[in-house]
Amino acid sequence: NYSASGYFFGRELERELNVAIGLIDISYGGATIFTFMDEITVVNTLDTATFNGTQRQRWEAYQTRIANWEDQGRKGRRPPFPPQHFSSLCYNAMVHPIVPFANRGAIWYQGESDVAHPDAYVSWFGDYIAMMRAKFDNAEMPFYFVQLAGFVNQPNTNVPPETWAKFRIAQEQCLKHPNTGMATAMDIGMKENIHPKNKQEVGRRLALCALKQTYGKKEIVCNGPQLKSIEKRGRTLLLTFDHWEGRLKNREEGNYVQGFSAVLRNGDRIDLEGKITSGNTVEIKASDIQRLRYAFANYPVCSLYNGEGLPALPFDRNVK
């Protein structure tokens, strides 16, 4: 019942630092970010109208489950109350009791229950980080978080197309909050399992962030390729990337990479192929593109990596 990602994160730190690592597991499956906030933060957080609407929908859904159970003569177990869906309940039970214990930092793997609100989530996460730093009297407390894994669907879910893709873009925007880092899991997800099994790699990637940014191991690479610029050259787009350590590589073989797509000026959507042309550039042959995308899907094709084996981050950019 312990966080597998957390365990492998701690194991990697212990191996690299040769010191014992203590971990406190504060987790609840299917949780919203608001359940880990205290009451004051919930009241003051931005985009309160969206929050109130979400809470009301979850309460009504719970009441519907209760009504259905009663209509069926109360057969079977009463539908359990889901504390992870409501504001401050997990904070009160799990976080408040350990305030203000000293800690070095936090890792965060959450978001599946908030994917419907990608833009608002950026400010929600900032409010949560600020609250935690204040509670634990650590203004520089690092937060390393996981960009959601690839996922399409599973029984009892109905995920609209591009919902998770948009949320991953929002998660990258969360890097604007100081002293944060992101480990992507988009390439190690499972198509029909919202809980992918490769937590060892998730923990390793989180540890890379901590080793580099918190423990000062500057030689470590913790970021995958990130789009820097798009240059238009006739019918060719030249993409330049940061964090391409070693050189850009195809996950398989060769210089042609999949996973690119575009929205054309007439509204059509097409898949595209890119060609690695140097250590940090990719060329794409196309015209009339309005928006260029990479790995922009709930369960994306991820073929572009750097020399350290870390995947390129997704993007959705205007082409001028």
Listed by start position, the domains of the chain span: 4-213, 226-318
What pLDDT is recorded for position 164? 95
pLDDT digits (tens, 9 = 90+) for 32-56: 999 999 999 998 886 677 778 888 8
Q: What are phi and psi of 68, to 5 degrees?
A: -65, -40
What pLDDT is recorded for position 80? 94
- Stated pTM of the model: 0.94
pLDDT digits (tens, 9 = 90+) for 276-320: 999 999 999 988 999 999 999 999 999 999 999 999 999 999 998
What pLDDT is recorded for position 152? 87
What pLDDT is recorded for position 114? 93
d(C-alpha 6, C-alpha 206), whole Å: 9
Closest CA to 57 of 116, 111, 110, 112: 116
What pLDDT is recorded for position 257? 97
CATH topology for 4-213 is Rossmann fold (3.40.50)
What pLDDT is recorded for position 47? 67
d(C-alpha 41, C-alpha 39), whole Å: 6
What pLDDT is recorded for position 55? 86
What pLDDT is recorded for position 153? 78
Where the chain has pLDDT below 70, the residues are: 46-47, 154-157
What pLDDT is recorded for position 160? 83
